[in-house]
Chain A
Amino acid sequence: MKTSNLIRVAGVSILKNKMRTLLTMLGIIIGVGAVIVMVAIGEGAQSQIEQQIQSLGTNMLIVTPEAASQGGVSMGAQSRPRLTTEDAEVLASEAFLLAHVSPVINSFTQAVGGTGNWRTSVLGVSPDYQQIRDWALGEGVFFDEAAVRSMRRDVVIGSTVAENLFPNGDAVGQRLRLRDVPVTVIGVLEPKGQTAGGNDMDDTILAPYTMVQTRMAGRQFIGQILASTSSPDDLGPAQEEIRQILRDTHGLAPNEPDDFTVRNQGELADAAQGMTQVMTLLLASIASISLLVGGIGIMNIMLVSVTERTREIGLRLAVGARGSDVMVQFLVESVVMSLAGGVFGVALGVAGGQTIAAFTGWNTLVSPATIGLALGFAASVGIFFGFYPARRAARMDPIEALRYE
């Protein structure tokens, strides 16, 4: 049978039973809608996390003082992992592939000044920190190398701190006391938003690490060293270079494991992405169950339809339809039904995703690939569940079918 005739024949019989067709399609509509909504939530979360990781900085490497092979085994006093500001300085002067290096000394402190008190974290860093985090200044300037060398008491504050202590917007030039240490605000950072974990990155004060170490933390060891390369291609080699230099500085014998860990931003992103992908897949497969139920609905209705139209099938066979013509006719009917259901389902899913986003504030994302996949899935459901009824129709004996009451 010609394709145009096929579509016509299928279309005619679908339209002749509008109510039944609609009810049958409802299963597919809900199934596809559910899949779209779930994937929209999953992919929305994924793109949000990717954005947040990007906002950490560019081409970033993180060195932390934990041994990769610790595994809960106590390592003894002298081999306890540690990082020092000297490690950062050695990396800054020796590492060939690193564009920027900054130690990070974290100290939680009460800041007093302006309109009152504010508990926040003070980060002791080098001027490179600004480039590594790719963090622009809203006002004022960042402290320079000279400030680090002379332990100058100049600080740059995050926008949250600025809003709370200097609501009038006149922070630059003002004085603050950090745990009895008087400091001067010389700059205010642009807002950066929240981390993937929901922490406010703007609730922070940056100060020269030398000053923080001697006047505030009083500790020899530091929490992490941040570094960056000028190109993402250098991340891998730079990671290895850092390893070699730090092993050397720490005086580790060849058989001793690293007493630090170097990770790059890509690895962080991969880990986060892996997690959200698993989540998306899980949500999508739960939603597909409803699509499956929709498919069974189609099969049910197609079986009823084939039985009801036994005489029609007998007649078609008598006037010259081949078994394959009848088969294709019923397959096209079920695919057209499931595809139409798919189209309505996509509309429902997109609307549902937006509604959920509006009510919860979550990020939802419907990509063209998701729509294509959902429609392809709907069509396959139509073929799969339409196959058995169609074959049953195609194999009928014309004489018996014509005699059917």
Chain B
Amino acid sequence: MEPDAGDPQRLIEARHIERVFRMGRTEVRALRGVDLQVQAGELVAIMGASGSGKSTLMNILGCLDQPTRGSYRLEGTQVETQDRDELADIRNRKIGFVFQGFNLLPRTSALENVELPLLYDRSGRRFNSRRVAAEALDRVGLADRMDHDPSELSGGQQQRVAIARALVTGPSLVLADEPTGNLDSVTSLEIMALFQELHAEGVTFLIVTHESEVSRYAERIVELRDGRVTRDAPVQDRGDARDDAAASLDAEWTAVA
């Protein structure tokens, strides 16, 4: 097979990625040769038990960490050869992060939290960062919560602010590491519904989760075990998170009644 680096739709091209952590005498081989290709516009779930290497892979794909061995191309850029500042620029321009613990700045309004990545824009583009941030908040349905501090928002709303922050620079790729891990089941469904909607608008998502209920809403599931990809397959009966959220709310009401 010919290498298909020229494919314009090819977003992620990771080959034989290894990551070894050295802790004194012992070595932890978190990733043992991962191959992964992702096209622009996909919605991929990365599954696996705790400790299987999901976060480690996410950090490498998100240019927060470098592989010990192997090659990683993001939109044709060979990531291993970039220095610290160039990696920061790639993260700013091409990648949005959503974390399990939201990671919003405390005592800082939703709008200012979303604006944060724009403060580090080095592309030289001219834009009104307040307006761009407000638009991103509108996309996640929080137009009426812009001036609220994180402490005044529910967990689901906080995660929406974090998603707006990930979207605000118009990244090629959004990486979400256990984005529903701190949320109840209905709120989790609502967040998944938001991912599905944004995906329908063309955003590429990689979502790490260990819950199979969550991965049902992806197009494709990549399974990791002990630092290796053990399964990589499309989702057969893909769920609609919006419908399921509504149904689950109905069920709750019936239970109460």
Contact = CB atoms under 8 A, between A and B. Distances in A.
A319 B65 contact: no
Contact residues of A: prevailing secondary structure: helix
A16 B64 CA distance: 29
Interface in B96-122: 97, 99, 103, 105, 107-108, 112, 116-117, 119-121
- Interface residue range, chain B: 20 to 34
Contact of B116 (A316, A322, A323, A398): A316
A320 B89 contact: yes
A320 B103 contact: no
A399 B97 contact: no
Contacts of A312: 105
B220 interface: no
A12 interface: yes
Given A16-B107, A311-B103, A318-B91, A323 B120 contact: no
A233 B16 CA distance: 88
Nearest to A309: B105
Contact of A399 (B59, B84, B89, B165): B59
A324 to B, nearest CB: 8
A394 to B, nearest CB: 10
A323 B117 contact: no
B85 A322 contact: yes
Nearest to B116: A319
A153 B19 CA distance: 111
B64 A316 contact: no
B93 interface: yes
A319 B85 contact: no
A402 interface: yes
A321 interface: yes
Contacts of A9: 119
B88 interface: yes
Contact of B64 (A2, A5, A398): A398
Contacts of B105: 312, 315
B103 A402 contact: yes
A310 to B, nearest CB: 12
Nearest to B96: A319
A5 B92 CA distance: 16
B120 A399 contact: no
A16 B149 CA distance: 13
Given A315-B116, A320-B89, A320-B91, 7 more contacts: A1-B120, A5-B119, A312-B105, A318-B64, A320-B121, A321-B120, A323-B84
The 7 closest A-B pairs by CB, nearest first: A320-B92, A319-B117, A320-B120, A322-B88, A5-B119, A321-B120, A320-B91
6 contacts: A1-B119, A12-B112, A315-B105, A315-B116, A320-B120, A322-B120
Interface of A: 1-2, 5, 9, 12, 16, 311-312, 314-325, 398-399, 402
